[in-house]
Structure 1
Amino acid sequence: MVKLKKQFAALLAQPLNGELSIQEIETLVEIPRHPSQGDIAFPCFALSKIRKQAPQTIAAKLASDLRSSLFEKIEAQGPYVNGFFNREELSKQALVNILNEGNSYGSATVGNGESITIDLSSPNIAKPFSMGHLRSTVIGNAIGNIAEKCGYQPIRINHIGDWGTQFGKLIAAYKHWGDEQTVISNPIKELLSLYVRFHKEAETQPELENEARRWFKKLEEKDEEATALWKWFREESLKEFSKIYSLLDIEFDTFHGEAFYNDKMEKTVELLVERGLLTESDGAEVVRLDEHDLPPCLIKKSDGATLYATRDLTAALYRQNMYHFTKSLYIVGHEQSLHFQQIFLVLQKLGCPWAKEMVHVPFGFILKDGKKMSTRKGKIVLLEEVIQEAITLAKQNIEARNPELSDKEEVAKQIGVGAVIFHDLKNERLNNIEFSLEDMLKFEGETGLYVQYTHARACSILRKAKNVNGLEKGLNDDYSWQLIKTLMSFPEVIQKSFNRYEPSQIAKYLMDVAQEFNMFYSHVKVLQDDNRLESRVSLIKAVTIVLKEGLRLLGIKAPQQM
């Protein structure tokens, strides 16, 4: 539709004689909500101010002046100039285009092969992978897929939380109440139990907090016992995480976590000193950001311990040196907005021009009973359990509907995982999502299953029409035309989704395609043997291409049979 908007704007520009630029006209062009108002429209309110005439008068004059083979008719409706496209010709062009491009349909070259680093997922070691980590993981992965579709080279970075004072707490807890064999038999569950117990005991024994700080200091000083425990906790956690990522079918380019930057932070501190940016505040070392009305960015605590800011500054410098990124995205909850604002400003003060292309992509929480899930209080829902339950329900659904289906296990996995991912990505990322296993696993309504089932239904029609090929004519009935117009907007939706870092744009679009297809299928006899059979089959092929590719961008598989 972008191309058609441009063509309509160019057509309008001729009689307007420079009163509005083509860019201004293009911005004003609209897509009407109702088919009776045409396929494309131009409101004349802006011209009314320029000409000092009623917009209805201007619309009537413009409509009479416009002629183009692109349109069946152009007419004035009140203050609007409404264009009705030549369905026969445009539908044929659109279908040929989609079929020729195949899975490449919707691709763009705006990225010019440049690198985008994407910091996503980043769970903390020694803690289970909870539903709370799902959002960063699936939003970040989808943005990576969409960026690649737009011509960028995404570099997915899993900045594992493998350092910090929480490990002092965990080591202290293990030394007090831990048992080696219990941890070996069920590492993540036991480590979580120890972490939760530490916080509970510390409420009545505040000296535990000091003990935890001492253990973390030992860890920073490479104490043998502290380091061995930390490595053990880390290895066990990564084994557990790999199971989740395998289920979600998500891969990373690097797992460099916080600890990776331990031997690199001193250079960052030296750089800040060289530039005269580091000042002392109550014994701590900070970079002041008074000119931005922001609190200072803490670089070192009064006891010399480093902070998240020190690591994130070091990581950004390392990534630019390693990947020469054009953009750098951080898929992290909105509660970290101030932190990233400070990091980006400190890098700008350091004289890094690329810092202006660093973006915090925030998202809302997954809530349980209206509250944020908290690991330290033990209030979490394990992601692996949710995915496995979704897969089990999908198996039951297959057994009830299609027990003869081959490859049932794989299809059930694709459905179950798709249900979990789609339930997240159909929501705008800044919105909070109330966790509900029941809603997530519904097999009707706005769900991943509905889109997957629509794709499978379309594939089934194609199997029945296997000997039908060619595309001689376009399609001009209302249901075909509405579906084709929706398919034509796929490239625009992808671009908008990338520009806003908003995968929900694609999820909502796929729902529209699925609904339009099912409306078409219920009103049109697709396999009727007449002179437009090939065209209708071509339309079905185009639908499968767009649904499969759209789901892929979200990180979801599209089964051909269900």
Structure 2
Amino acid sequence: MEKHMLALQLSHILGEPYSREWVYEQLELPKKESFGDLAFPCFPLAKEFKKNPKLIADELAEKLKHPHITKAESAGGYVNVFLDQSFFTEETLKEVLANDRDYGSHNFGAEKTVVLDMSSPNIAKPFSMGHLRSTIIGNAISNLAEKCGFETVKVNYIGDYGTQFGKLVAAYHRWGDDDAIQADPLTELTRIYVKFHEEAKTDPTLIDEGRTCFKKLEDADPEVLELWRWFKDVSLQEFDRIYDLLGVTFDLTRGEAYYNDKMEGVIKRIAGAGLLEESDGAQVVRLDEQELPPCLIRKSNGTTTYATRDLAAAIDRYESFHFAESLYLVGHEQTLHFQQVKYVLDKMDLPWANDMHHVPFGMILKDGKKMSTRAGKTVLLEQVLQEAIDRARENIADKNPDLKNQEQVARQVGVGSVIFHDLKHDRTHDVEFSLDDMLSFEGNTGPYVQYTHVRTKSLLKKAGYEKEDAEVKLVDEKAWPLIKLVRAFPKVVKESYEQYDPSRIAKYLLDVSRSFNHYYAHNQILDSDQEAGRLTLIYSVNLILQNGLEILGIEAPDQM
């Protein structure tokens, strides 16, 4: 509200062609609290006005008047604006109390559906740290979408098809051990898959065996099909244990193989649109006008491709859900693939192709290198989660041995620390795997935010605070920075969804936690003259921390 208010006032003063929208985009947050609450830089006006930016700022500050602005001053080419703290405090706290757990919500997504393709591990491979990002970033974006009014459909698009499964079947034929697979499915299947690639370096006939086995899978050979189903069943059982630990659920679990009987229809549609061309015995769609390599639809040996299946899946999802947005939470390395899929759909004259968005993210690196199951270089997510829980349990036993529900809290804190460590990083950046950083319970971590939530809850409980006791007023100027953060929550939610970036929420929660702990350390809350007003502010902070952690997919313990 305040930015729109200020933009409107300044655009009236400046006149044409400086619209409210243009002014709004220029507004900044001052670098220091002492510089005010909003700042307007006058440097872009210097050429048009033929004046020094400082002189422009002097004139604007003199003319800027509004009942909810207490002061406007010129400083170094900026107009620094100070807001009416009492008015905005009362307005903010009233809005929080009126909306309660819905504070920060929006309705611009009402009656619209967002489909999210997320997690998508490959069967017969362990759930590694490499799959963590797609799972929890997708889950957080889904929660943000729901906070903005959208209906969401979370799809776990399991990698259960492709040439790698031909290789796995070939590896099983050579080195498979049924008893070992029954005892520890993913470890044993990974062992023979890695062995296949090691042996293939010196025995190229293995690659041909893998291709032959995959062709048999496509042709529904009974023996190969039975093996494939067995590998898939044991894998899904293992994956479900990980999802239970993470607290992630899906609306639809569907593998690539689901589209086997739908791909011929898609290929016919592509051919009917006059897009399919022969190239060295293969069938492709050329994308020369997009300056992209051709999209391979069918290989020269007759097998289909990852792109063929994704085209079938995209069409199926639109026909099933009529999505407003379809989001693919897949790493940067698949950018070209999704560009090709989107352009093929666009060339098929399917207008909803423009509503499909690849939401890329950086990799989790180990020693600066990409993790790889094929090379046997991976870190298992379940092991990391279990160690995080163990460390949280040890921390609780050391600092709060009388805590009830220790096992539950250890799980909430341990798993939360792993999720928060990932989500606090910008989605597009690579993240270096470091168990010590991930499991630290001090600094910019999930446990720090969780503990701040516990502290606010404890204060409210100790005071016996109820919403009916609320006082919506500015209790002191020291509370103003915290009020501004509380006020910013709806805006942060909206921008986080629009940018598909949960790190904005994580960083915001750290800011709120730091601001609250600073305020708490320097102000008496209980038994003070301003107790009711301060507790109302703390109630607001508690709501935001709870809502924010929930968006990130992290539980908020009542005690730690």
Same structural fold, with TM-score higher than 0.5 when normalized by the shorter chain = yes
The one-letter code matched in structure 2 to 1:148 is E
C-alpha offsets along residues 344-394 of structure 1, whole Å, 9 cap, x if unaligned?
Answer: 000000001111111111111111111111101111111011101101111
Match of 2:439?
Answer: 441
**CA contact under 8 A between 2:11 and 2:18: conserved in structure 1?**
yes
**Percent of residue pairs bearing the same amino acid type:** 53
The one-letter code matched in structure 2 to 1:499 is E
* d(CA) in 2 for partners of 1:78, 1:162: 61
Match of 2:520?
Answer: 521
Any gaps of 5 or more consecutive residues in structure 1? none
* d(CA) in 1 for partners of 2:283, 2:161: 20
Does 2:23 match 1:25? Answer: yes
Matches within 5 A, 1:50-449: 50-449=48-447
**CA contact under 8 A between 1:92 and 1:471: conserved in structure 2?**
no
* d(CA) in 1 for partners of 2:431, 2:14: 48
Shift of 1:215: 1.1
Match of 2:482?
Answer: 483
The one-letter code matched in structure 1 to 2:380 is L
Shift of 1:472: 3.9
Give the one of 551, 554, 557 matched to 2:552.
Answer: 554
SS in 2 for 1:125: coil
Give the one of 3, 9, 34 matched to 1:5.
Answer: 3
* d(CA) in 1 for partners of 2:139, 2:327: 12
Match of 1:492?
Answer: 491
Shift of 1:418: 0.4
SS in 1 for 2:81: strand
C-alpha offsets along residues 131-188 of structure 1, whole Å, 9 cap, x if unaligned?
Answer: 1110111111111111111111121111100011111111111111112122111111
The one-letter code matched in structure 1 to 2:309 is R
The one-letter code matched in structure 2 to 1:265 is M
The 1:308–1:473 alpha-carbon spacing in structure 2 relative to 1, beyond 3 Å, is closer
**CA contact under 8 A between 2:475 and 2:533: conserved in structure 1?**
no
C-alpha offsets along residues 203-240 of structure 1, whole Å, 9 cap, x if unaligned?
Answer: 12111111111111111111111011100000000000
Aligned residues: 559
* d(CA) in 1 for partners of 2:103, 2:417: 25
SS in 2 for 1:263: helix
Shift of 1:15: 2.7
**CA contact under 8 A between 1:87 and 1:476: conserved in structure 2?**
no
Match of 1:503?
Answer: 502
Shift of 1:48: 2.9
The one-letter code matched in structure 2 to 1:508 is K
* d(CA) in 1 for partners of 2:64, 2:219: 77
* d(CA) in 2 for partners of 1:524, 1:256: 54
**CA contact under 8 A between 1:87 and 1:475: conserved in structure 2?**
yes
Shift of 1:54: 2.4
C-alpha offsets along residues 372-427 of structure 1, whole Å, 9 cap, x if unaligned?
Answer: 11101111111011101101111111111111111111111110110110111111
The 1:451–1:472 alpha-carbon spacing in structure 2 relative to 1, beyond 3 Å, is closer
Shift of 1:473: 5.2
C-alpha offsets along residues 460-490 of structure 1, whole Å, 9 cap, x if unaligned?
Answer: 1111111565344522534310011011111
* d(CA) in 1 for partners of 2:338, 2:454: 43
SS in 2 for 1:84: strand
The one-letter code matched in structure 1 to 2:495 is K
**CA contact under 8 A between 2:364 and 2:371: conserved in structure 1?**
yes
SS in 1 for 2:115: strand
**CA contact under 8 A between 2:364 and 2:430: conserved in structure 1?**
yes
**CA contact under 8 A between 2:475 and 2:534: conserved in structure 1?**
no
Does 2:473 match 1:474? Answer: yes
Between 420-429 and 477-486, report the one with greater CA deviation.
Answer: 477-486
Shift of 1:19: 4.7
The one-letter code matched in structure 2 to 1:486 is L
SS in 1 for 2:254: coil
* d(CA) in 2 for partners of 1:471, 1:82: 32
* d(CA) in 2 for partners of 1:370, 1:467: 50
SS in 2 for 1:138: helix
Between 69-78 and 353-362, report the one with greater CA deviation.
Answer: 69-78
**CA contact under 8 A between 1:74 and 1:81: conserved in structure 2?**
yes
SS in 2 for 1:330: strand
Between 100-109 and 465-474, report the one with greater CA deviation.
Answer: 465-474
Between 429-438 and 15-24, report the one with greater CA deviation.
Answer: 15-24
Shift of 1:62: 2.2
**CA contact under 8 A between 1:90 and 1:474: conserved in structure 2?**
no
The one-letter code matched in structure 1 to 2:302 is G
* d(CA) in 2 for partners of 1:213, 1:28: 58
The one-letter code matched in structure 1 to 2:524 is K
**CA contact under 8 A between 2:465 and 2:535: conserved in structure 1?**
no
**CA contact under 8 A between 1:327 and 1:357: conserved in structure 2?**
yes
The one-letter code matched in structure 2 to 1:487 is V
Shift of 1:53: 2.4
Between 53-62 and 466-475, report the one with greater CA deviation.
Answer: 466-475
